[in-house]
Chain A
Amino acid sequence: MNDVFQLSVIAGILTSAIRLATPYLYAAIGETFSQRSGVVNLGVDGIMLIGAYASFYIVLITGNIWLGLLAAIIAGLLMGLLMSLISVTLKAEQGISGIGLYMFGLGLSSLLFKTTIGTVKTVTGFQSVKIPLLGDIPVVGKIFFDHSLLVYGAFLLIPLAWWVLEKTTWGLQIKSVGQNPAAADSLGVNVDRMRYTSVCIGAILAGIAGASLSISLLNLFQENLTAGQGFIAVALVYFGNWKPQGILWGALLFSTVNAFQLWMQVLGVKIPSDIAIMLPYVLTIAALAVATNRVRQPAALNKPFERGES
Chain B
Amino acid sequence: MLPVKEGKAVRSSHRLRWASPFFNALLPLAGMLLALLIGAVMLLILKVNPLTAYGEMVAGALGSVSGITQTLVKATPLLLVGLGICIAFRASVINIGGEGQIIVGAIAATWFALTFRTWPGWLLVPSTLLVGFASGALWGFIPGILKARLRVNEILTTVMMNAIALQLMNLLIRSVLMDPAGITSGTYLAQSERLPEQAWLTRLIPQTLLNTGTLIAVGLAVVVYIFLWRTTIGYRIRAVGLNPDAARFSGINVPFNQALSLTLAGGFAGIAGAIEVMGVQHRLLEGITSGYGFSGIVAALFGGLHPIGTIPAAILFGGLLVGGDKMQRAVQVPNSLIDAILGLVVLFVVGSSLWSQRWAARRQMDAIKHQEEQA
Contact = CB atoms under 8 A, between A and B. Distances in A.
20 contacts: A82-B347, A92-B356, A95-B96, A102-B343, A103-B294, A103-B339, A104-B339, A104-B343, A107-B337, A107-B339, A108-B336, A108-B340, A111-B42, A232-B159, A238-B155, A281-B164, A282-B160, A282-B164, A285-B157, A294-B152
Contacts of B338: 107
B331 interface: no
Nearest to A275: B171
Interface of B: 42, 46, 94, 96, 146, 150-153, 155-157, 159-161, 163-164, 167-168, 170-171, 174-175, 294, 297-298, 301, 334-348, 350-353, 355-356, 359-360, 363-364, 367
Contact of A234 (B159, B168, B352, B363): B159
Contacts of B156: 235, 238-239, 284, 288
Interface in A214-229: 223, 228
Given A100-B350, A101-B347, A274-B170, A110 B339 contact: yes
A181 to B, nearest CB: 13
A185 to B, nearest CB: 15
Nearest to A296: B151
Interface stretch (A13-21, A83-91, A160-168): A83-91
B351 A235 contact: no
A115 interface: yes
Given A96-B298, A235-B159, A85 B342 contact: no
Contact of B298 (A100, A106, A234, A285): A100
A295 interface: yes
A136 interface: no
Question: How many A residues touch the partner, as a band?
Answer: 35 or more
A226 to B, nearest CB: 14
Contacts of A282: 160, 164
B160 A106 contact: no
A282 B171 CA distance: 15
Contacts of B153: 238, 294-295, 297
Given A111-B42, A239-B156, A289 B339 contact: no
A114 interface: yes
Most chain B C-beta atoms within 10 Å of own C-beta, residue among A82, A105, A107, A109:
A107
B152 A304 contact: no
A99 B343 CA distance: 8
Interface in A252-310: 272, 274-275, 277-278, 281-282, 284-285, 288-289, 294-295, 297, 304, 306, 309
Contacts of A104: 339-340, 343-344, 346-347
Nearest to B174: A274
Contacts of B337: 107, 111
Output the residue of B153, B338, B347, B352 with the most chain A CB within 10 A. B347
A173 interface: no
Nearest to A274: B171
A91 B359 contact: yes
Contact of B160 (A40, A102, A107, A235): A235
A272 B346 contact: no
A82 B344 CA distance: 10
Contacts of A106: 336, 339-340, 343
A285 B336 contact: no
Given A95-B94, A96-B298, A115-B334, A306 B168 contact: no
Contacts of A105: 343
A304 B160 contact: no
B12 to A, nearest CB: 12
Contact of B351 (A85, A278, A297, A306): A85
A231 B146 contact: no
Contacts of A37: none
Contacts of A294: 150-153
Contacts of B348: 86
